[in-house]
Structures are given as C-alpha cells and as structure tokens.
Structure 1
Amino acid sequence: MDWLIMIIWGVFLPPPLKAGTEYILRHYYQYPQRLPGGWLYLHCLLSGVLIVFWSDGQGVYVLFLTLLFLCLVMLFHIDNSVFYLPDKLVFPVLWAGLLFQNEVRLVTISSALYGVIGGFFLLWSVAEGYAWCRKKSGLGGGDIKLFSASGAWVGAEQLALLLMLACVSALVVSGLQYLRHRCHHHPRCGPRIIAFGPHLIAGMIMVMGMISGSRFQ
C-alpha cells in the first residue's frame, strides 16, 4: 500500500489540489495569482511520506490522515496567500480528529475533547490579551479555530508544545525573511503581517510526529 500512497500523493493529487485551492482563492477572495506549483508539489510529497510512516499500513490511519493532509495543504496555501483560514476546511480537521481518536485512540477521546476546548480558549485568551495591550488585533479567528482543531489530533497535554513550536517556526521564518531583505537592500517598510496558520500546521505536524514515533517504540 505504501507505494500506492506515494504515487497518489506524488503524481495524481498535486494538480487537482492546486486547481481547487486556486479556485477557492479566486472565487471567494478575488485572488488572481497562481500558486507556486513547486511548493504545493513538495507539500503533497511530504504528506504522502508522513502518511506512509504514520499509518503503518493500517487502512483507518490512511483514511483519516489523507483527509487531514488534504485540508492542511489547502489551508497552508490559502492562509499564505490571503491571510484567511476558511471554516469549510478548518471544521473537517476538527471533526476528523475527534472521529480518528474515537477509532484509533492515538490519544484518549477525553484528551482530544479537552484539547479542542482548551485550544480554543488558550489562543483566544492570548489574542484578547494582545488586542487589549496593543489596541489592535494580532490573531485572527481562523488561527484560534485551527489551534482548537489541532487539539483533537494531539490532545490537551501537547497544546503548549504545539504553540511553542509554532511560535519558534514563525520567528525563524520572519528572521530569515528580514535577513533576505537586508541582504538585497530592500527598504524597510511598516510592520509585516504574518500568516500564523502555516506555523500552526508545522507545529501540529511536528507534535504528531513525536506522538506517532513514541507509539512505535
């Protein structure tokens, strides 16, 4: 089954995923530009590799992880393009995560439920605190909902680690972009908006990798 998963994710899924994501961006957000196909292809290939390693040949794993990564790849590129995480892709991540834990029990169902609730209120509190201190919004509602949905996959106990990894990812990427602009002598402009969704996705994948790795030890 492993080679079939890699063929599907490496050959057959990238074109329709790219077309579907571009349609959503164009139809709902009036975003006319085409997505860089190389990055989307790389993300699909990485998704296939992770599904192969995490599923261990179990059909239930393959089914749920395929749904998860289909949503995550699209969310990644949509948020990177228009700084928005659509509910129609975030909520399937949440419900698939709860169903996944009910079937597989990678974490307990109670931990998954507490992860959903705790994830929402944790990031909501951070967003509200930032807005109160700085008198402007720092996090969007989509980020809060995606973090909540990720709690269904990693459990309540891993939420702090996920958030820390997401913040580190955002700082590293922002620092590299700043250095690149300095090296190319680009004039400094105002504060740059950062799409936090891709970094939440990166943190989620790293934590899930840790959980899956410990399962096979």
Structure 2
Amino acid sequence: MSPHIVLSVFAFLFGAVVGSFLNVCIFRLPKGESVVFPPSHCTRCDYVIRWYDNIPILSYLSLRGKCRRCGEPISIQYPLVELLNGVLTLLLYLKFGPGFPFIVLFVFCCAMVVITFIDLEHQIIPDSITLPGIVIGFIVSFFIPSLGWLNSLIGIVAGGGSLLLVAYGYQFLAKKEGMGGGDIKLLAMMGAFFGWQAVPFIIFASSLVGSVIGITVMLIQKKDSKLAIPFGPFLAGAAILYIFFGRALIHWYLNLGR
C-alpha cells in the first residue's frame, strides 16, 4: 500500500476521532459546560462511556444506536459529525497535503462543524469560538504570505461590517431584529482567515443557498416569512466551499463573456 493511501486513510480516521470530541463541544458549549470534565456519559443513566464504546462511527453501529446500559437512543448526529469531519479532513489532505495550511484549515473546518450543529439546534453561535477565531485568523495571517496581516485585517472589518450594516438596515426597515450578532462575528472570523476577497463570495453563496432552502422549507411547512432559519450553517458551508472551489469559481465568473 502506497504512503499516500496510508496517509489518506489516517487523515480520515484522525478527522473522525476529532469529530467525536466535536460532538462533546456541540452538546456542552450551549450549556456553558466544560468540554473536558466530566467524561462522556449517558445523559439518562450517567453510564461513563468506555473507550470501546467511543470508537467513531463503528461503536454507534455495534451498539445499534443505543446506550449499552439503559438502552437510551443515541442521536444519529454523533456518527454524522464524525463522518463529516473525517471526510472534510480527508479532502483537506488531498487538496493541500500535510503542512501548515492543512493544520490551519483543519482547525477552521472543525470550528465550522461545531458552529453549524449548534446553530441548527439552538440558533446561537458561541462567542467562545468566533472571538478567539478572529484573533487566531489574524495571527495566522502573519505566517501565510498569500494572505498577509493587512488583507486579514480588512477581511475582519469587511466581514463583520457588511453584516452589521445589513442587520441595522433590516432593523430600521422592519422595526425588528433580523440577524444576530453571532453571524456578524462569524463572518468577521472568516474574513480574518481568508481575507477580504473571500467575503463577497461567502455572502453571495450563503445568501443564494439560504434563500433557496428557506423558501423551500416555508412552502413545505406552509409558514410565512416570519419562520426563523439560522444563517450560520449557510455561512459555514459557503466558507468551506470557498476553501475548495472559491478561487476557481471567482476566476471563472470574472472571465465570463471574454
């Protein structure tokens, strides 16, 4: 077996293992609980999960989605997060190979996974992720020549500022709050990691997909425009799309008609 295949398999497995920890973050951060202590346990019978019951994806299948002791159903979200993070890690490795960019983008994608599932369930985006993320993204920019600290700084201002203007504009026109501060800080974090050039792409892609899905959900559920749909997952999805295809799509768009 070639070293490339071995490293690819390892990348997937490593991502899935980290995905198990991300599940802890998704469950505990909205509650303000520690992600380190106490150890993972059943929420019904407090059974401390043993290592052999905490193997990503496989343990869920072997347990048939139930607690070993009391039979409490385990959410399908757990293996899905592990699988998703494993696939993202594999794709990052295949595109960027081992190195500093891979590490940075791996951390970023892990944060996006946590934010997506928390926002879907609780409609909040934790400041404990976005605020340190803004700082980390800016610090990282000093070590990535293609990004640069000035580009990152402008990205922070452009990302947070653009959504802040949208939020104020909507509040002024509709006389109610339409976009939370979490979305604003999230886009500022994305600007810190990718620079200001990524901001228009992320806004456009997330708005387009969000509009299509939002309208579809409202038609299916037969509810009006007051239906609240979290925007964070669309921002996160657009940012991940930018990582893999953003520059190519922007280049393609700019060359249309030439």
Conservation of the 8 A alpha-carbon contact between 2:30 and 2:126 = no
Residue of structure 1 equivalent to 2:86:
45
Quote the sequence identity (%). Answer: 20
RMSD between aligned alpha carbons?
2.5
Q: Does 2:45 correspond to 1:5?
A: no
The higher relative CO (CA closer than 8 Å, separation ≥ 6) is in: 1
- Which structure shows the bigger proportion of residues in helix conformation? 1
What displacement does 1:137 show?
0.5
1:115–1:206 distance in 2 versus 1, CA, 3 Å: same
Q: Return 5+ residue gaps in structure 2 as ranges.
A: 1-6, 34-42, 44-73, 250-258
> What TM-score do you get using the length of structure 2 for normalisation?
0.70
Q: Return 5+ residue gaps in structure 1 as ranges.
A: 182-186
Q: Does 2:155 correspond to 1:131?
A: no
* Letter matched to residue 118 of structure 1: A
Q: Does 2:145 correspond to 1:82?
A: no
Residue of structure 1 equivalent to 2:67:
none
Counterpart of 1:104 (choices 124, 144, 158) is 144
Residue of structure 2 equivalent to 1:184:
none
> What TM-score do you get using the length of structure 1 for normalisation?
0.82
* Letter matched to residue 136 of structure 1: K
* Letter matched to residue 12 of structure 2: M
Residue of structure 1 equivalent to 2:3:
none
Quick one: distance in 1 between partners of 2:208 and 2:158?
A: 21
Runs of 4 or more, structure 1, over 6 Å off, are none
Residue of structure 1 equivalent to 2:237:
202
Conservation of the 8 A alpha-carbon contact between 1:94 and 1:152 = yes
Deviations 1:17-58 (A, max 9, x none): 212311223446xxx995723432342133213321343222
Q: Which has the larger radius of gyration?
A: 2
Counterpart of 1:156 (choices 186, 196, 199) is 196
SS at match of 2:142: helix
1:122–1:189 distance in 2 versus 1, CA, 3 Å: closer
